Amino acid sequence: MSRTPPRRYWLTGASSGIGAALAEEILKTGGHLAVSARSPGPLKVLSLRYPGQVLVVAGDLTNSQTVREIGEQIAEDWGSLDTVILNAGTSEYVDARQFDASIVEHVVRTNLLASSYCIDTALPLLRAGTAPHMVAMASTVTYLPLPRAEACGASKPGLRYLFDSLRIDLAPEGIEVTVISPGCVESPLTMKDGLPMPLSWPVEKAARHIFEKLQDRPLEITFPAAFMATLWPLSRQPDQVKLEIGKRMMRSQPPGKDQP
C-alpha cells in the first residue's frame, strides 16, 4: 500500500521570529522543508534536529542570482514544491527630520523585490507540485498609516497588490494564493521597534494559528481578531483622524535601523 509523499515547503525568513516558529509547526507534521535566511547557522541546527526533512538553502534573497541558485538546488534535490511561504522581510524606521532614501530602498528591496525574485523561481517548481499553494506575509500596516513606517508601509501594500493580482492570474492553473496580515506579534523584529503592542501574541501562538488556517487555504489570514476589530474601524476614519492617532504614537527618538 503506497503512502502519500510528504508535502514539500519552501519557507523564507526561517531563522527567527514567526518563520522559525512556523518551521517547527511544519516539521512536526512530517513535512519536508526548504529553509532560507541570510544566516545559515540556525537553519543547520534545524536540519540536525529534523534529519532527512530539512533542505538548507541559505542566501541573500535580495540578490536575484542567489534566488535562482536556490531554485536550482531545490529542483535538483526535490524536483518540485507544493507550498511556498514568503515570510522574509524587514521593518526599518524613518526619521522624517533626517529623511534617508536608502532606508526606503532597502526595505522595498527586501520586502517587495526579493519576493518577486522568489515568485519567479518558485512558480515552475509549484507547477510541478501537488495542490500548489503560494503564501505571502504582508502586514496590518497596509490598513492604517503609522509614524516612522513610511518605508515598511510603502513595501507591504505593494506586496499585497502583487499577490492579490497573482491570485487572479494563477487561478486557471490551480495555484492558490493566501496573504497573511499579522497584527502585534512578539518577534525580534517587532520587539526592537519600541511601539506599543496591544493584544500581542507570542510567535509560537502566531505560527500555530497560521499553520492551522493555511490548511483551509483562505484568501487572507488576519490576526489577532480583537486587534483587527479595533484597527479596521480606525482605517476607515478620515485622514485628519488618522493623523491625530499617529501623532499620539510618535516617539521623541527614532529606533535604530536594521543592518542590510
- Say yes or no to pLDDT of 129 above 80: yes
Residue with C-alpha cell 502519500?
A: 4
pLDDT reported for residue 156: 87
pLDDT reported for residue 157: 86
Please, are residues 9 and 85 in contact by the beta-carbon 8 Å criterion?
Answer: yes
- Position 191 confidence tier, pLDDT thresholds 50, 70, 90: very low
* Mean pLDDT score, 162-168: 96
- Say yes or no to pLDDT of 242 above 90: no
Residue 3 in domain = no
What DSSP string describes 24-87? HHHHHTT-EEEEE-S-HHHHHHHHHHSTTTEEE----TTSHHHHHHHHHHHHHHTS--SEEEE-
Please, are residues 34 and 10 in contact by the beta-carbon 8 Å criterion?
Answer: yes
- Domain total of the chain: 1
pLDDT reported for residue 186: 66
- d(C-alpha 97, C-alpha 79), whole Å: 50
Residue 260 in domain = no
Higher pLDDT, 35 or 235: 35
For 171, the enclosing helix (H) or strand (E) is none
- d(C-alpha 54, C-alpha 9), whole Å: 10
Residue 182 in domain = yes
Instruction: Output the nine-digit C-alpha cell for 242.
Output: 488618522
DSSP, collapsed to helix, strand or coil, labels residue 50 as: coil
- d(C-alpha 67, C-alpha 199), whole Å: 36
Maximum Cα interatomic distance, the chain, rounded to a whole number of Å? 67
- Say yes or no to pLDDT of 255 above 60: no
CA 206, distance to chain mean position in Å, is: 12
For 82, the enclosing helix (H) or strand (E) is none
Residue 223 in domain = yes
7-11, 107-111, 221-225: which range is least confident on average? 221-225
Q: How far is CA 221 from CA 79, 106, 125, 147, 165, in A?
A: 29, 26, 24, 24, 17
pLDDT reported for residue 144: 66
Residue 259 in domain = no
pLDDT reported for residue 251: 40
Instruction: Output the nine-digit C-alpha cell for 188.
Output: 525580534
User: What CATH number did the domain enclosing 78 receive?
Assistant: 3.40.50.720
13-17, 134-138, 144-148, 169-173: which range is least confident on average? 144-148
Residue 1 in domain = no
Instruction: Output the nine-digit C-alpha cell for 163.
Output: 499577490
Percent of the chain whose pLDDT exceeds 90: 62
- d(C-alpha 106, C-alpha 124), whole Å: 27
Q: Domain span at residue 120? A: 8-249
pLDDT reported for residue 2: 57
- Say yes or no to pLDDT of 162 above 90: yes
- Position 106 confidence tier, pLDDT thresholds 50, 70, 90: very high
For 85, the enclosing helix (H) or strand (E) is strand 83-86
- Say yes or no to pLDDT of 126 above 50: yes
Q: What is the mean pLDDT of the chain?
A: 84
Residue 255 in domain = no
Instruction: Output the nine-digit C-alpha cell for 226.
Output: 480583537
Residue type, 90: T
Residue 204 in domain = yes
- d(C-alpha 229, C-alpha 48), whole Å: 41
Q: Please, is 250 exposed, middle or buried when counting C-beta atoms within 10 Å of its C-beta (0-12, 13-18, 19+)?
A: exposed
pLDDT reported for residue 228: 53
pLDDT reported for residue 199: 54
* Mean pLDDT score, 193-203: 61
